Amino acid sequence: MVNFTILAGGYTSFIASYMFNSETNTLTYLNQYITGGNPTWIISHPTNKSVLYAVNENQPTGALQSFMVGPEGALTLVETAYSGGSGPPYCSGLSTGQVAIVNYGSGTARVIPTTDPLHFSADDSTIVTFPVPTAGTQGVSEPHMVYQYGEELLIPDKGNDKIWRLGQNGSPGDFSVHGQIAQPIGSGPRHIQIYENQLYTIHELASTLTLQDFPAYPNFSTPLISNVSTVPNYQPAGSSFAAAEILIPLPTTEFPTPYIYTSNRNTGVQDSRGDTIAIFEKVNGQLVLRNQVYTGLNQIRGMMHGQQAGEGGDAYIVAAGFAGTAGVKVYKRTEGGANLEEVAVNTELPTRTSFVWLKQ
Q: Are 331 and 343 in contact (CB under 8 A)?
A: yes
In angstroms, the CA 30 to CA 238 distance is: 38
pLDDT for 272-328, tens place per residue? 999 999 999 999 999 999 999 999 999 999 999 999 998 899 999 999 999 999 999
Q: For the purposes of burial, counting CB atoms within 10 Å of the CB of 272, is it exposed (0-12), middle (13-18) or buried (19 or more)?
A: exposed
C-beta separation of 107 from 142 below 8 A = yes
Q: What's the confidence (pLDDT) of residue 319?
A: 98
Task: Give residue 135's pLDDT.
Answer: 55
- Residues paired with residue 208 on neighbouring β-strands, in sequence order: 203, 229
Residue 207, pLDDT > 90, answer yes
| Number of C-beta neighbours around residue 252 at 10 A | 13
Return d(Cα 171, Cα 96) in angstroms, integer: 11
How far apart (Å, rounded) are the C-alpha atoms in residues 220 and 179? 6
**Model confidence over 15-51: pLDDT tens digits?**
999 999 999 999 999 999 999 999 999 999 999 999 9
pTM for the structure as a whole: 0.97
